[in-house]
Structure 1
């Protein structure tokens, strides 16, 4: 079985997650300075890990929104892992609404997945589960289940969200920029990069997928 390749930011040494990963025989671990995020998994998923105390401090400083903006513009899938319990921030003078507002912004405005973890062990497991589920996915066995839109505009969103790493936010930006789904499909990779949040790598993935033979 192929090993899971994980690059961990060297500033995560004290987290305890790196030491757990280092003893896992399924993981090929590299430790170096990352310009964005804390863990890069198989060049596919970029994770920003925050303890509850880290979250509060970054909300107060405003750093959380800068990080979310940069993650949203990344060419690969991104997610936040929030580690710990609410009791960890009992001594911080911050209104709960400020925390909820930040989480809403991250999840809905920046379209970044938020995962919860109770401990460093659980954080490690989330990293491994994500890698294994990605590796086991088979395109032929992934029907799009659940919500089926009926209105034309919603159908357009639904179609575009089937493209690689395109969530609701980017789908809306695409439709605001291009006049139709047809125009998005016919756009060049360079034209796709005009959309905020779509870098050249993501644009090339979309362009190639729409043109490759089955």
Structure 2
């Protein structure tokens, strides 16, 4: 696997330096995950960049280039993903319409990550799945295993419950439980105490606090 990053994306380069990415000028997209002779093309936007590019129509120009180009150099683009990186509070009908158009007209999947931690975790899993070919599988029937969660250790059950709540996810759920020791303590925590947990800043702490109060 080789990671190519556009030379204008210095912020991404710093986040993904552990992959020893190759820095080049990509004609389209921000990141190209390359395996042998094909790869996955990622376009990353912050919420503010998404909105400004939507209003200027630059977004549609970029997405059209992504779907019209089958290759970057000699390498085939086998799939395309749009990542919206940052807390995105959608309140505008135009934004909902744009997201639906991206999904159904341009047929580009959209992934939302709230912060750098989630971005890095998503990227790690994406690279891992691409390397193993897991994203190219034919869909298979999967039987519902009713007792799966019941068989978890008690601590893992509680982490699982926390992870299912908005604004938290798997990594923060574990960090929260390790710090507070119980779901009740998380629910009763102040915004200041929440910011003591690894990966939680003031904005995320405010959202979690508001959810419980």
Q: TM-score w.r.t. structure 2 length?
A: 0.56
Deviations 1:92-122 (A, max 9, x none): xxx7111111111111100001111111232
| Cα drift, residue 124 of structure 1 | 2.6
RMSD: 2.3
Is residue 110 of structure 1 aligned with residue 106 of structure 2? Answer: yes
CA contact (8 A) 1:49 1:81 kept: yes
- Shift of residue 130 of structure 1? 1.2
* TM-superposed deviation, 1:71: 1.1
Question: Could you say if the C-alpha distance between residues 29 and 138 of structure 1 is closer, same or farther in structure 2, counting changes exceeding 3 Å?
Answer: closer
Aligned to 1:202: none
Aligned residue runs from structure 1 range 1-214, under 5 A:
4-13=1-10, 15=11, 17-22=12-17, 24=18, 27-42=19-34, 43-75=38-70, 76=77, 77-87=79-89, 96-137=92-133, 142-145=137-140
Cα pair 1:20 1:121 within 8 Å, conserved: no
**Equivalenced residues, count:** 131
TM-score by length of 1: 0.56
Structure whose alpha-carbon radius of gyration is higher: 2
What are the ranges of 5 or more consecutive residues in structure 2 without an aligned counterpart? 71-76, 142-213
More off after superposition, 120-129 vs 42-51:
120-129
Structure 1's consecutive aligned runs of 4 or more residues displaced over 3 angstroms after TM superposition are: none
Aligned counterparts of 1:37 and 1:86: Cα–Cα separation in 2: 21
